[in-house]
Amino acid sequence: MTSDAVIQRFMEMAVKAAAKAVRVNSAARLNEALPSIIQLGDKAGPRIFCPRSTEKEKAVIIPEDLFTTDYFDADVCIEEVSGAIAETGSIICTSHGGKAVQAGLLPSHHVAIVPQDRIFETLDDYFESCREAPPTNITLETGPSRTADIELTLTVGVHGPERLSIIVF
């Protein structure tokens, strides 16, 4: 598959898993897309956490009154993730570089920035890419958290975010 075909397959599979997915080609386009993704309106906005540790995270513009440095206090986490798997539409969150994997799992809305050059066709392809120095912790997210553990009733957001938005950049 070509790179564009892998990206397209990833986005299609992510949408099938109930995530929202958009593709942008610049930091300006990223910041144009964020208000509608986060649903910023006239009312008081959500508390937003962004680690600002990567260049793509540093490019994210967050209104100062909405920004929090504590992901435990956040309603939304915007972060660059380690990659994605096209065949399942999953994003890959790792502890590589000291990242807190739980930062994207605790808030009710996870906005994952996926580098377009880190979208792998299969999970095996991802593991092959990190064979030399695998991360200590790997979490795969496929759509919003859902479970049917409670009386076989589907519930969203019990074990992770209620909403997953993906920005391929």
CATH of the domain at 49: 3.40.50.10420
Q: What CA–CA distance (Å, rounded) separates 41 from 144?
A: 23
Which residues pair with residue 100 across a beta bridge?
none
Tell me the sheet residues that pair with 101: none
> Model confidence at 146, in pLDDT bands (50, 70, 90)?
low
pLDDT for 98: 81
What is the pLDDT at residue 151? 66
Closest CA to 90 of 160, 2, 1: 160
Q: What is the pLDDT of residues 17-68, one digit of tens each?
A: 999 999 999 999 999 999 999 987 656 789 999 999 999 999 999 999 999 9
Q: What is the mean pLDDT of the chain?
A: 90
Structure tokens at 15: 């949408």
Q: Which domain holds residue 68?
A: 3-168
pLDDT higher than 90, residue 160: no
Q: What is the pLDDT of residue 1?
A: 75
Helix (H/G/I), strand (E/B), else coil: 147: strand
Write the single-letter amino acid at 125.
D
Rounded CA-CA distance 14/165 in Å is: 9
Domain count within the chain: 1
Q: What global pTM score does this model have?
A: 0.90
